[in-house]
Amino acid sequence: MTEGNFVDYIKIYASSGKGGSGSAHLHREKYIAKGGPDGGDGGRGGHIIIRGNKDMWTLFHLKFKKHFRAEQGGDGSKSRSTGKNGNDIYIDVPLGTIIRDSNTNKVVFEITENKQEKILLEGGMGGRGNWHFKSSTNQTPRYAQPGVDGLEGWYQIELKILADVGLVGFPNAGKSTLLSVITAAKPKIADYAFTTLKPNLGIVNYRNYKSFVVADIPGIIEGAAEGKGLGHRFLRHIERNSTLLFLIAADSDNIQKEYDVLLNELKKHNPELLDKQRLLAISKSDMLDEELKEEIKKEIPTNVKYLFISSLAQIGLKELKDQLWKMLN
């Protein structure tokens, strides 16, 4: 799937169906002149339902269809026949999707499980037929209830990718290369900043047929939380990761500073991100000898676990998987 096909934010208009009208029919039959009221109820209007789909990972399918209107309920008829319920409209979304009310920006609900269904807008109730209103003082009511109007509104649909580990780092830190080596994912890789324009997911196969999911988030730069660069668009995807893997290249001018900048951007976006488990990997370490490694160790923050890796030379990757699995479990 190309970068342009990855959509993680969309705005839609939804309208549930109006309920059908009740019937004011009076029973007529040969030899029965006054059979009394027998008007049936109107059918329920169609719901707007959001449904989780584990095979989806983007909101691209909603990019060109943003208006959803459910069917109106059928009217009641004679012999107390209830009108047909309006057909419900189902909107499939990836797991990790949040629905917000556009007017208030409040979260309505979120979808986290496959085939999970949540009613976004309930269809209007059908009106009651005239037989409901028969009484000792009114034997032949000639009125029935109209159907209740449906609901409508604008909603924001946001995707937060579900992954166990989130890769955090500056552009060109080697995140995509690492993902391509430890998983079967095939992200775009090149020797310039902002190669990754969308989050990439990969499954790491661990021992004894175990596995965990890693998400490569587009590179963060200083000021990302305020909207600079590309990282700010994807910071919300990190919120669902239980463990954060910080990747800093061995040829960095100042590892401590880069790490602090990354932490600060996460904190500005959402302070709760600092409560997650963190692991620091020094990438491209195949260019280092033992003496250089000892020098770099002096720059590494003391409050985070770290290890040296090289995706190209396959150095430290087994230890990296072991450490991540241990943190996840």
Instruction: Categorize the per-residue pLDDT at 230 as very low, low, confident or very high, splitting at 50, 70 and 90.
Output: very low
- Give the pLDDT confidence score for residue 274 in this predicted structure: 86
Residue 68's CB is within 10 A of a number of other CB atoms, namely 20
Domain ends where: 130, 159, 188?
159
Q: Which residue in 136, 5, 121 sits closest to 64, CA to CA?
A: 5
The mean pLDDT of 214-238, rounded to a whole number, is 61
Note whether 29 and 151 are same-domain residues: yes
**What range does the domain containing 295 cover?**
165-328
**How many independent structural domains does the chain possess?**
2
Alpha helices in 150-199 (DSSP H): 175-182
Q: Which range, 45-49, 176-180, 191-195, 235-239, has the best average confidence (pLDDT)? A: 45-49
Instruction: Categorize the per-residue pLDDT at 31 as very low, low, confident or very high, splitting at 50, 70 and 90.
Output: low
Collapsed DSSP state (helix, strand, coil) of residue 246: strand
8 A C-beta contact, residue 20 and residue 76: yes
Note whether 117 and 251 are same-domain residues: no
Residue 246 pairs with which residues in a beta bridge? Answer: 168, 280
Strands 243-249 and 165-169: parallel
- Give the pLDDT confidence score for residue 2 in this predicted structure: 43
- Give the pLDDT confidence score for residue 308 in this predicted structure: 93
Note whether 130 and 227 are same-domain residues: no
Instruction: Categorize the per-residue pLDDT at 3 as very low, low, confident or very high, splitting at 50, 70 and 90.
Output: very low
Note whether 131 and 181 are same-domain residues: no
Note whether 170 and 149 are same-domain residues: no
Q: Which residue in 169, 209, 206, 231 sits closest to 327, CA to CA?
A: 206
Note whether 213 and 300 are same-domain residues: yes
Collapsed DSSP state (helix, strand, coil) of residue 269: helix
- Give the pLDDT confidence score for residue 237 in this predicted structure: 73
Domain containing residue 111: CATH number? 2.70.210.12
- Give the pLDDT confidence score for residue 52 in this predicted structure: 94
Amino acid identity, residue 223?
G
Q: Which residue in 189, 188, 187, 198 sits closest to 7, CA to CA?
A: 198
Note whether 104 and 119 are same-domain residues: yes
Instruction: Categorize the per-residue pLDDT at 68 as very low, low, confident or very high, splitting at 50, 70 and 90.
Output: very high
Note whether 123 and 184 are same-domain residues: no
Domain ends where: 159, 180, 201?
159
- 268-314 pLDDT tens trace: 888 888 888 999 999 988 888 888 888 888 888 888 899 999 988 88
Domain containing residue 310: CATH number? 3.40.50.300
Collapsed DSSP state (helix, strand, coil) of residue 241: coil
Domain ends where: 100, 134, 159?
159
Please give the C-alpha separations between residue 9 and each of 68, 104, 296, in angstroms, as whole numbers.
17, 17, 40
- Give the pLDDT confidence score for residue 207 in this predicted structure: 82
Burial of 225 (0-12, 13-18, 19+ CB in 10 A): middle
Q: Which range, 23-32, 99-108, 136-145, 307-316, has the best average confidence (pLDDT)? A: 99-108
Note whether 97 and 181 are same-domain residues: no
pTM of the complete model: 0.69
Q: Starting at the edge strand that comes first in sequence, how are the strands of the sheet with 97-101 ordered?
A: 67-69, 9-15, 152-159, 97-101, 107-111
Dihedral (CA of 291, 293, 299, 302) sign:
negative
Note whether 154 and 178 are same-domain residues: no
8 A C-beta contact, residue 284 and residue 292: no
Note whether 169 and 141 are same-domain residues: no
- Give the pLDDT confidence score for residue 33 in this predicted structure: 64
Residue-averaged pLDDT of the chain:
84
Note whether 19 and 98 are same-domain residues: yes
Least confident segment among 163-172, 176-185, 238-247, 261-270: 176-185
- Give the pLDDT confidence score for residue 184 in this predicted structure: 64
